[in-house]
Structure 1
Amino acid sequence: MLSARSLFQEILDNDESFRLFCSIAASGEAQGGWENARIAALVPPGERGLAPKIARHGADEDKHGRIFHALIKKRGLRPVEVPPDTDYTMLLERHGIGLPHEKLRADRPLTVPDVVTYLAHSRVTEQRASEQMELLRKHFADDPDIGRAVRMISQDEDNHLAYCHEELLRFAHAGHGRTIQRTLRECALAEIRVYRDVSLAVMSHMGRILGWSKARSATLAAGIHAVYAYERLAGWRRMVRLAMPERRGALDGPPATAPEFA
């Protein structure tokens, strides 16, 4: 029977598919680390209190990248080049989601609308990351090889999502509510398209590595399209709702280290 657990287990059990999976994840986390570090450095003067939280977010992402590389190394493997069609963060930028890299490479301070755009983008993408890690944690939290990494990253992603909710609500109360809702909707609708395309690309690469039959590949592709259809109809709404999280101040203080992985 085809299930999320059996699919992930098949990918994890094969060295080639495992290192592709971890390489894709590590690349995305490293990119997120760089973006957050640049945003923290460019926060406008009136919002400097946000800078340590954004820097903490970036440090967590860097840590996750090191963790995925350490998992590859633990198997005696080397990372592989990430296929462009699986590069989630790059494709989001191409679709105009988040702050453009040319703006982050400049030395000019960002504006408050820039910060709101960053937070809205993060709220959407962290929803996806939190859900994906929750799925892995459900099935592999006790796995001797990846369980510790899954638990640590999952907790961090939950913290990131909580932080986005809290900060966006603060900006909404300051008068940016309509901009936030419009930006969240635009980001969510673009993200679900990119996620569909990346999911199809990843499954295509995995299918070639693992020798899946045409029937199995077609079944998985149909499932991905079905998820997209649901998200396009109504599922995207979960990505735009805002609620004060139970976990307040989730990114206050220094990031937790991961010496066992780094």
Structure 2
Amino acid sequence: MLSAKSLFQEILDNDESFRLFCSIAAGGETQGGWENGRIAALVPPGLRELAPKVARHGADEDKHGRIFNALLKQRGLQPVTVPYETDYTLLLERHGIGLAHDRLSREEPLTERDVIVYLAHSRVTEQRASEQMRLLLKHFAEHPVLGRAVKMISRDEDNHLAYCHEELLRFARAGHGRTIQSVLRECAQAEIRVYRDVSLAVMSHMGAVLGWPRAKSAVLVAGIHAMHAYERLVGWRRMVTLEQPTLRDALGGPAVPENEYA
């Protein structure tokens, strides 16, 4: 029966599809690490207390990239070049979501609005990351190879999401509520389009590698479009709500090193 678990198991069991999966994941995490590192360096003077948390966020993302590369190394595999159309992080930036890379490359302090845009963008994308990792956790928490990596990354993504909620609520209490909601809605609507396009591209590449029959690919494509329709009509709302997280100050300490995972 076609299911999330059976699909991922099929990807996991094939070296070439596993290479592609880990390469895409590692590339996105590494890019996120760079972005957060630059944001931490450019946080304006009035918000410097936020810089260590942003830096911790970036350190976690870098760690995740190393974990995915370590999973490849364990199987004697090398990363592959990530196809442009599967690069979620790059495509979000190209769609104007978050802070542009040319802005982050300049040695110019961010504005308060820039920081709000960063947090809103992260709140949306970390929702997606948290959900994806919880799905993997559900099916592969006890897997002998993936289990510990999935547990560590899932915990980190939940922490990142909690941090975004808490910091955005702090800005909302300071009078930025309308700006936050506007940016969140814009980010969410763009993210669900990019996620659909990336999902279609990834499934196309995986289907080619694994030799999926046309009927199977058609079912998966229909499922992706159905999910997009749901998210466009209703599901996007889960990405724009703000709630005080149970875990407070989730990024207040140092990153957990990946050698705990190994």
- Sort the TM-score into its range (normalised by shorter chain): over 0.9
Q: CA deviation at 1:200?
A: 0.2
Q: Structure 1: any 5+ residue segments left out of the alignment?
A: none
> Does residue 198 in structure 1 map to residue 179 in structure 2?
no
The residue that corresponds to 1:75 in the other structure is 75
The residue that corresponds to 1:182 in the other structure is 182
In structure 2, C-alpha distance between the alignment counterparts of 1:23 and 1:56, rounded to whole Å: 23
Q: Structure 2: any 5+ residue segments left out of the alignment?
A: none
In structure 1, C-alpha distance between the alignment counterparts of 2:245 and 2:157, rounded to whole Å: 13
Matches within 5 A, 1:54-69: 54-69=54-69
Q: CA deviation at 1:124?
A: 0.1
The residue that corresponds to 2:128 in the other structure is 128
TM-score between the two structures when normalised by the length of structure 2: 0.99
CA contact 1:70–1:261 (8 Å) conserved in 2: no
Q: CA deviation at 1:221?
A: 0.3
Matches within 5 A, 1:15-54: 15-54=15-54
Q: CA deviation at 1:24?
A: 0.1
Number of residues of Structure 1 aligned to a counterpart in Structure 2: 262
Q: CA deviation at 1:202?
A: 0.2
Q: CA deviation at 1:76?
A: 0.6
> Does residue 92 in structure 1 map to residue 55 in structure 2?
no
TM-score between the two structures when normalised by the length of structure 1: 0.99
The residue that corresponds to 1:148 in the other structure is 148
Q: CA deviation at 1:258?
A: 1.1
Q: CA deviation at 1:259?
A: 1.4
CA contact 2:148–2:261 (8 Å) conserved in 1: no
Secondary structure class of the residue paired with 1:226: helix
> Does residue 241 in structure 1 map to residue 220 in structure 2?
no
CA contact 2:160–2:251 (8 Å) conserved in 1: yes
> Does residue 259 in structure 1 map to residue 252 in structure 2?
no
CA contact 1:19–1:80 (8 Å) conserved in 2: yes
CA contact 2:39–2:54 (8 Å) conserved in 1: yes
CA contact 1:44–1:112 (8 Å) conserved in 2: yes
In structure 2, C-alpha distance between the alignment counterparts of 1:163 and 1:240, rounded to whole Å: 14
In structure 2, C-alpha distance between the alignment counterparts of 1:236 and 1:173, rounded to whole Å: 23
In structure 2, C-alpha distance between the alignment counterparts of 1:160 and 1:169, rounded to whole Å: 14
Secondary structure class of the residue paired with 2:259: coil
Secondary structure class of the residue paired with 2:27: helix
Secondary structure class of the residue paired with 2:174: helix
In structure 2, C-alpha distance between the alignment counterparts of 1:54 and 1:229, rounded to whole Å: 33
In structure 2, C-alpha distance between the alignment counterparts of 1:164 and 1:260, rounded to whole Å: 25
The residue that corresponds to 1:118 in the other structure is 118
Secondary structure class of the residue paired with 1:250: coil
In structure 1, C-alpha distance between the alignment counterparts of 2:16 and 2:260, rounded to whole Å: 24
* Percent identity between the two aligned chains: 77
Query: What is the Cα-based RMSD across aligned positions, in Å?
Result: 0.7
In structure 2, C-alpha distance between the alignment counterparts of 1:254 and 1:131, rounded to whole Å: 24
In structure 1, C-alpha distance between the alignment counterparts of 2:43 and 2:237, rounded to whole Å: 29
Secondary structure class of the residue paired with 2:253: coil
The residue that corresponds to 1:250 in the other structure is 250
1:8-60 superposed Cα distances (whole Å, 9 cap, x missing partner): 00000100000100000000000000000000000000000000000000000
Runs of 4+ in 1 over 4 A off after TM superposition: none
CA contact 1:60–1:255 (8 Å) conserved in 2: yes
Q: CA deviation at 1:260?
A: 5.3
